[in-house]
């Protein structure tokens, strides 16, 4: 009998797939959920040490639910896309309080939780509960778009609908758990973005993009839009003893809940300068890029003798070399602090 698409993928996974990733040791919902959220926009090798530290500190969903958001964010620092960590915390509390610590078993119910989209919900329900549903993360989009020559940018609704339809059409009726992991693996290790290993691909026979010598055309690229550039000044206060003042940002918005430096306009800095214990000194300008804009950050350093020499600000904290890892810091603040503490 002729092998189906799913049969080929599963046979390849049994021999060549990854079976020893940390979250594969116990295919239960909590570690699978944590890994799926961490792996959004982030490579496996980057995620592994974060996953290990996170699981050591929060070994179950109830432990995560009981934690302070500050500690959750501190363990997330460096992974980026911090809304993921805030949503993890929210979802853990919902599961702990309203589901008695047990994850919903279906994609339909999982997708109702904060930060869990259709593909992540499908991954959890398929891997942990063998629900026959498709996933469509970045790796799977690449495989499906190439094999079946589905053009267009996956961020467009009609392209996404075609990809979802095809992903569902090739689902096997058995071993959904293994098939879901196999598809993610195939995209991550063989059908990669640049220089895919087509000769090692189990579905290269019948891959329309390969037949048409158009692999690089799939998936379609996002239409280019020039990003605007914004500017801000960050006021950095440091004592002679090496203590550095940071302030926690509001829970929502850019760097929500993280610690950073107060931001000022040039006019506000000019008005504030006469009232400071010492004249601000410019540090190296930083560029930080977000999805929709670039941010040019001009840090201005004010050095003081002691904490008491400057008025308090809302939500302030003072960090030093000894306690800096206890704070969830936005990436620019991390860089500035590292340059000051050496």
Same domain (yes/no): 119, 262 = no
Same domain (yes/no): 47, 176 = yes
Same domain (yes/no): 175, 248 = no
Cα distances from 311 to residues 159, 233, 235, 303, 316, in angstroms, run 55, 19, 13, 14, 11
- What confidence score (pLDDT) does residue 49 get? 97
Write out residues in the chain with pLDDT < 50, as ranges.
Answer: 1
Contact yes or no for 239/304 (Cβ under 8 A)? yes
Same domain (yes/no): 108, 43 = yes
CATH number at residue 78: 1.10.340.30
Residue 36 counted as domain residue:
yes
Residue 212 counted as domain residue:
no
Residue 36 among the catalytic residues: yes
Residue 60 counted as domain residue:
yes
Same domain (yes/no): 234, 299 = yes
Q: How many residues does the chain have?
A: 342
- What confidence score (pLDDT) does residue 323 get? 84
- What confidence score (pLDDT) does residue 19 get? 95
Alpha helical stretches, state H, 82-198: 83-98, 107-110, 118-129, 138-147, 157-169, 176-189
Same domain (yes/no): 32, 105 = yes
Same domain (yes/no): 40, 96 = yes
Q: Give the range of the structural domain holding residue 253, as residue numbers without chain letter.
A: 229-341
* Contacts with 76 (C-beta within 8 Å, 6 or more apart), sequence order: 50, 54, 82, 84, 85, 328
Number of domains the chain contains: 2
Same domain (yes/no): 94, 31 = yes
Residue 275 counted as domain residue:
yes
HSE of 329, CA atoms in CB hemisphere, 13 A: 21
Domain boundary among 122, 147, 182: 182
Average pLDDT over all residues of the chain: 95
Six-digit token string for 79: 């992974």
Residue 217 counted as domain residue:
no
What percent of the chain is modeled with pLDDT above 70? Answer: 99
Q: Which is catalytic among the residues 36, 71, 161, 308?
A: 36
pLDDT in tens, 281-330: 999 999 999 988 999 999 999 999 999 999 999 999 999 888 878 889 99
Residue 103 counted as domain residue:
yes
- What confidence score (pLDDT) does residue 327 get? 87
Residue 153 counted as domain residue:
no
- What confidence score (pLDDT) does residue 104 get? 96
pTM for this predicted structure? 0.85
Same domain (yes/no): 178, 245 = no
- What confidence score (pLDDT) does residue 2 get? 63
- Apex CA 241: angle with CA 239 and CA 246, to 5°? 45
Q: What is the C-alpha radius of gyration for the chain, rounded to an integer number of angstroms? A: 24
pLDDT in tens, 191-235: 999 999 999 999 999 999 999 999 999 999 988 888 999 999 999
């Amino acid at each position: 009998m002729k092998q189906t698409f799913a049969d080929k993928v599963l046979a390849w996974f049994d021999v060549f797939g990854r079976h020893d990733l940390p979250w594969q040791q116990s295919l239960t919902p909590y570690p699978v959920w944590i890994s799926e959220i961490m792996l959004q926009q982030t490579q496996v090798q980057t995620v592994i040490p974060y996953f290990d530290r996170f699981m050591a500190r929060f070994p179950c969903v109830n432990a995560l639910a009981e934690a302070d958001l500050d500690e959750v964010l501190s363990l997330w620092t460096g992974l980026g896309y911090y809304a993921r960590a805030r949503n993890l915390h929210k979802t853990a509390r919902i599961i702990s309080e309203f589901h008695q610590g047990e994850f919903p078993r279906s994609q339909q119910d999982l997708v109702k939780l904060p930060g869990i989209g259709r593909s992540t919900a499908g991954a959890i329900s398929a891997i942990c509960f063998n629900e026959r549903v498709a996933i469509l993360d970045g790796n799977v989009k690449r495989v499906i778009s190439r094999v079946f020559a589905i053009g267009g940018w996956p961020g467009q609704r009609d392209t996404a609908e075609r990809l979802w339809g095809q992903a569902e059409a090739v689902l096997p009726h058995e071993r959904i758990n293994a098939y879901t992991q196999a598809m993610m693996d195939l995209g991550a290790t063989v059908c990669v973005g640049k220089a895919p290993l087509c000769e090692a691909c189990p579905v290269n026979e019948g891959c329309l993009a390969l037949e048409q010598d158009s692999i690089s055309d799939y998936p379609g690229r996002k239409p280019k839009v020039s990003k605007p550039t914004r500017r801000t000044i960050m006021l950095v206060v440091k004592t002679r003893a090496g203590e550095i003042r940071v302030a926690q940002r509001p829970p929502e918005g850019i760097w929500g809940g993280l610690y950073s430096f107060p931001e000022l306009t040039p006019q506000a800095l000019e008005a504030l300068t006469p009232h400071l214990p010492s004249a601000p000194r410019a540090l190296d300008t930083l560029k930080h890029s977000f999805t929709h804009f670039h941010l040019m950050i001009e840090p201005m350093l004010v050095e003081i003798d002691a904490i008491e020499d400057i008025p308090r600000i809302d939500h302030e904290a003072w960090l030093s070399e000894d306690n800096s890892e206890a704070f969830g810091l936005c990436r620019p603040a991390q860089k500035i602090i590292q340059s000051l503490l050496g």
